[in-house]
Chain A
Amino acid sequence: MQKIYAILVDGTVYFSWLFIVSMGLTLTYGVMKILNIAHGSFYALGAYAAASAVGAWFAGNLPAAGSFVLLVLAGIVVGGGAGLIVERGLLRPMYGRDEIVLVLVTYAAFLVIEDLIKLVWGVDPYFAYQPYNLLGRTSIGGIDFAVYDLGLFALAVVIGVATWWALERTRSGKMLRAVIHDREIATAMGIDVARVFTATFVIGATLGALGGAITAPAISVVPGIGVDVIVLAFAVSVIGGLGSVAGAAVGALVVGLARACAVHFLPEVELFVIYGVMAVVLAVRPQGLFGRLAARKI
């Protein structure tokens, strides 16, 4: 019983992280049909920016509570800026080219940003553990865990609800859904698709960077943290169905729980399990759990 409870807690924490990181990726794919490999670099950028911002904040002896706001701000500023640069500078001239070419453009962007990070921040690890320790630990039902992780879950819920509300209940959200549904008809109806693309990519990048920023206090920020995130986010989005927000939530939940089970029962298969689930889901439902089937065009 204790073990099941522990799995649930671990799974939830992992779910929150996965959900925030994958949301941006699945949104970008849903609207633009681009598998954004650079998403991992936005994650890394967010983590680095947050780590150095928090470091400077505490070095200046400013009120500790402000560091949480700072984390989120750092993620939003860096992610939004980098997203805007990549979309305007790199992707815009390439629209209309093959899907695979666009993937490679983001791959190139990923390689470039990876080294830019090393140039700016060096190769030594950064630590921003203060916000993590500040909240202390608590125990619910005999399981001891960090309050910070609980906060991650709250943030994931907030982001999920906000995205749902923005997509389903606002005018811009409606336009966005129109573009997802049929790009050409949306253009014909007077929607500025180029602007929708820019906005989507910037939001996606911001979510990626935010994921990195809020993870920074829990890990040591080192070069290469973005690489693993990409495939994990892919796995989550694909399991849920690329382009579906509800799918990202379910995918994150499935992967989070599967990994937590593996860690507690059979640690050797931890990595195997995530991609195993992905392969099984793809084999049974190629469009993902929440994806829609596209009509075959003759």
Chain B
Amino acid sequence: MRTVPALACVLAALLVAGPLMPSWLVFLLTVAIAKGLVVLGLVVMMRAGLVSFGQGLYYGLGAYAAGLAANRLGVGDAIALVAIGGSVSALLGYLLGFMMARYREIFFAMLSLALSMILYGTLVRSAALGSTDGFNLPPPSFLGFAFDAQDGRILVYALTVVVAIGTAMALHRFVSSPAGVIGQAIQANEIRVEYLGASVAGVLHLTYVVGAAAAGVGGALIAIAAGHIDPDLAYWTTSGEFVFVAVLSGTGHVAAPLLGMAVFEAIRSFAFQYSPYTWQMAVGLSMLAVILFLPAGLWSLFTRRRRPGSAG
């Protein structure tokens, strides 16, 4: 099936299912899809060979930008908050991109880790932003209307689903655009791309900003959905989780990160519920199982039986 119509069908199905689902499932899916959005951006970066161990920087920044806009500037509208989170992260991504586009592989990973830990260190020590406790957000409004808690949750879910699927469609276009294709060529052999006359730095910079914007939007959505933010959003374990889900899902399809994150969140929620002391072990063991038995990621379950070449 073609990707865009398929995504549209998924979108419709998720929207219709929203009001029918129990509220715990709605929340779990909202969180999973919002975080899946971050992974989506990361997967696009990984196709160009940029493995960031610091997407928590933009994830946390997007969340704090949305949170501060809601609390200090009185922006109540959820859609505006998401836009603010995404743009602030994209702006920082654009500025840092000038530097980051010069780094590759382990150096890129380490530098992005360092930058995210700088944000974490700053947030932990700033009493005005609630230090390690973070702060709460007021319930958002939608297009000027306020809703009660139950309807609000469904609307946040709907917003998350629409934004995520929309981004997935846009990024599907992006990876087959000239910049996206050159990105893959850079990952294969950077010097040859330079010989062919394409700007490696330019493409990597653009890809980096795309990843940052997606992470910022994801962060803002999490802030709205959870109603609370703290510095852990920028901690290295959060960033590590994104890398893990990116590898677990595989880079074969734009929907894979969203599915991968949903699986990951489900494993974690159930493990946390049934064995609060050993949930990390359950997550770790499932990670190992996927790495061992599905080397090409979860998405390979869907593409395995098809002829090579028709996948994705």
Contact = CB atoms under 8 A, between A and B. Distances in A.
Interface of A: 35, 37, 90, 93-94, 97, 99-101, 103-105, 107-112, 114-116, 118-119, 123, 227, 230-231, 234-235, 238, 242, 268-272, 274-276, 278-279, 282-283, 286-287, 296, 298
Contacts of A35: 106
15 contacts: A99-B105, A100-B51, A107-B244, A112-B284, A115-B280, A116-B281, A234-B110, A235-B117, A242-B106, A268-B125, A269-B121, A271-B125, A276-B118, A279-B115, A296-B191
A103 B239 CA distance: 13
Nearest to A279: B114
Contacts of B243: 100, 103-104
Contacts of B288: 90, 105, 108-109, 112
Contact of A227 (B103, B237, B277, B291): B237
Interface of B: 51, 99, 102-103, 105-107, 110-111, 113-115, 117-118, 120-122, 124-126, 189, 191-192, 236-237, 240, 243-244, 247, 277-281, 283-285, 287-288, 291-292, 295
B192 A298 contact: yes
Contacts of A242: 106
A108 B118 contact: no
Nearest to B247: A104
A85 to B, nearest CB: 14
A75 B146 CA distance: 59
Given A94-B291, A274-B117, A278-B114, 17 more contacts: A99-B106, A104-B247, A104-B287, A107-B244, A108-B288, A109-B284, A111-B284, A111-B287, A115-B279, A115-B280, A234-B110, A235-B114, A271-B120, A272-B122, A275-B117, A279-B114, A279-B115
Contacts of A100: 51, 243, 247
A282 B107 contact: yes
Contacts of A114: 280-281
A119 B278 contact: yes
Contacts of A274: 117, 121
A86 to B, nearest CB: 11
B114 A272 contact: no
Given A104-B291, A119-B278, A286 B284 contact: no
Contacts of B107: 282, 286-287
A271 B124 contact: yes
A187 B124 CA distance: 48
A272 B280 contact: no
Nearest to A98: B247
A295 B287 CA distance: 34
